[in-house]
Amino acid sequence: MKNALTALINLSEEEKEKVGIKYTASEIYGQVDLWENTVDRVNGLSDCLRSFLKEFQDRGKGCIVCTGAGTSEFIGHCIEGLLRKNLGTPVNVFSTTKIVTTPSDIFFPGYPFLLISFARSGNSPESIGAVKIADMTTLKVSHLIITCNNLGLLYKWGKEHEAALTLCLDEKTNDKGLAMTSSFSNMVVAGQALSHSFNSEVYFNTLEKLIRAGKNILESAPDTIKEICSLDFNRAVFLGNGSNFGTAIESHLKLQELTSGIVMCTYDTFLGLRHGPEAVIDPQTLITAYISNDQYLRKYEVDLLREIREKKIGLSVLTCGGSIDREIRDLSDYVIEYDPDHSFDIADDFTPPVLVTVGQLLGLFKSLKLGFKPDSPSDQGVIHRVVEGVKVYNPEAYAQSGKFDIVSER
């Protein structure tokens, strides 16, 4: 099917190089085709994963911490609910940057932790710093590393670490463009599969629906999103509830980084927006709302959309979801659906890898509209594919100051 995205992919290599889409457009388009391979890789470690998770649980009351920096952190927000429900363990999401700077706010001696590290390249200084500092803070840390690069420092560290289990995804998920796209959705899928380590057949049935839904978005959304990106907006607000709060966070970063900050973005839940952040919405603001399938959550979402319409704020409202009913359509300027025929029954916990495609496409087409090169949109070199110039300090040197609790539990 021809659309605005496939038109970019079908350009000659010379034309792609000229406009700066040698990688990004194809990585967005090809990500869904990798999801099954990702789940196969998780399932290939199923015996090890179950043993690893059971050993952690048998150590007593503990906590799972999902970590990463930037986009990799946001994976945790998309899967924390599933991990909590399916593994019956408290789950928190903390960035590697927070772990490196204030580890004692997160870890403490004598309490079991499972640190799940997500990383595209695994080469940023914080990726390695976080796992090493976690080990300094408490010896009761197990490590699960999920990455897209088997040559990365984090993957190599995990392979050599006694208390670590590593999973590397297909090399095609290791995006070559600046923005994480395929790497993000595939690591989210890996996290979803991980949460079903003790009932993998349940997730396999959901995966088939996710793949179909993802392809529906890639077919139906690009033309609409290209049209939206022709509008004169320089702000954007992304809204999501539950697991799609993570989708909203990731979407705000995709649009902001691919437009080199020309479009400033924020995110919130539907209720949260009403407690102050609604003030950011001006006449040049695009509002993107990720609509829940859960009817209880929809009541709050409809209330907020109605308030926006009644206040006549914002430039345009885009709603995205499975099947968008007439009430929400009447409160929207644009609608994107992945299940218009009601043929799927996908719980909201699983929809982030599908819906995040909307945020990725907004970033891609707005970047092109503004004259940037999506593969490398930062003209001044402010942002890079792998973060550079960060120095991670050894907290042992500062342990006596009371800021860090470096322990010896053996």
Question: What are the pLDDT digits (tens) for 329-349?
Answer: 999 999 999 999 999 889 999
The CA distance from 242 to 300, in Å, is 12
Q: How many angstroms separate the CA atoms of 82 and 290, rounded? A: 18
CA distance 301 to 304: 5
**Is the per-residue pLDDT at 67 higher than 70?**
yes
How many CA atoms, within 13 angstroms, populate the side-chain half-sphere of residue 352? 34
C-beta of residue 176 within 8 angstroms of C-beta of residue 157: no
Q: How confident is the model at residue 392 (pLDDT cuts 50, 70, 90)?
A: low
Mean pLDDT confidence for 32-57 = 96
Q: Is the dihedral of CA 312, 318, 321, 327 positive or negative?
A: positive
What pLDDT shows up at residue 382? 54
> Within 272-388, where are the H helices?
295-311, 326-329, 352-369
Domain ranges of the chain: 4-21+210-369, 31-198
What are the pLDDT digits (tens) for 185-216?
Answer: 999 999 999 999 999 888 988 999 999 999 99
Token pair 């986009």 is at which residue? 71
Q: 31-198 belongs to which homologous superfamily?
A: Glucose-6-phosphate isomerase like protein; domain 1 (3.40.50.10490)
In this prediction, residue 137 has a pLDDT band, given cuts at 50, 70 and 90, of: confident
Q: What is the number of residues in the chain?
A: 410
Beta bridge partners, 116, equal 66, 144
- The confidence band for 315, taking pLDDT boundaries of 50, 70 and 90, is very high
The single residue listed with the structure tokens 């990731």 is 250
Q: Tell me, what's the pLDDT at 386?
A: 55
Dist CA 166 CA 158 (whole Å): 6
Q: HSE (CB half, 13 Å, CA atoms) of 311?
A: 17
CATH topology match: 4-21+210-369 vs 31-198: yes
Structure confidence at residue 139 as a pLDDT band (50, 70, 90): confident
Band (pLDDT 50/70/90 cuts) for residue 60 is confident
pLDDT confidence of 110, banded at 50, 70, 90? Answer: confident
Q: How far is CA 366 from CA 112, 171, 216, 280, 320, in A?
A: 45, 28, 21, 20, 18
Query: What is the reported pTM?
Result: 0.94
Helices (H) and strands (E) in the chain, counts: 15, 10
| pLDDT tens digit sequence for 261-301 | 999 999 999 999 999 999 999 999 999 999 999 999 999 99
Report, as an integer, the average pLDDT of 107-131: 92
pLDDT digit string (tens) for 231-240?
999 999 999 9
Joined tokens for residue 40: 């196969």
Please compute the mean of the pLDDT values over residues 374-384 and round it to a whole number. Answer: 72
Whole-number Cα distances in Å, 389 to 176, 375, 384: 20, 21, 11
**How would residue 400 be classed by pLDDT, with cut points 50, 70 and 90?**
very low
Band (pLDDT 50/70/90 cuts) for residue 389 is: low
- The answer, yes or no, to whether residue 42 has pLDDT greater than 70, is yes
Does the domain formed by 4-21+210-369 have CATH 3.40.50.10490?
A: yes
Give bridge partners of residue 166 from the DSSP assignment.
Answer: 145
Amino acid code (one letter) for 59 = R
pLDDT tier at 383, thresholds 50, 70, 90: low
* CA distances, 271 to each of 130, 285, 302 (Å): 33, 18, 11
* Amino acid 405: pLDDT: 52
**How far apart, in whole angstroms, are the C-alpha atoms of residue 400 and residue 395?**
10
Higher pLDDT, 401 or 345: 345
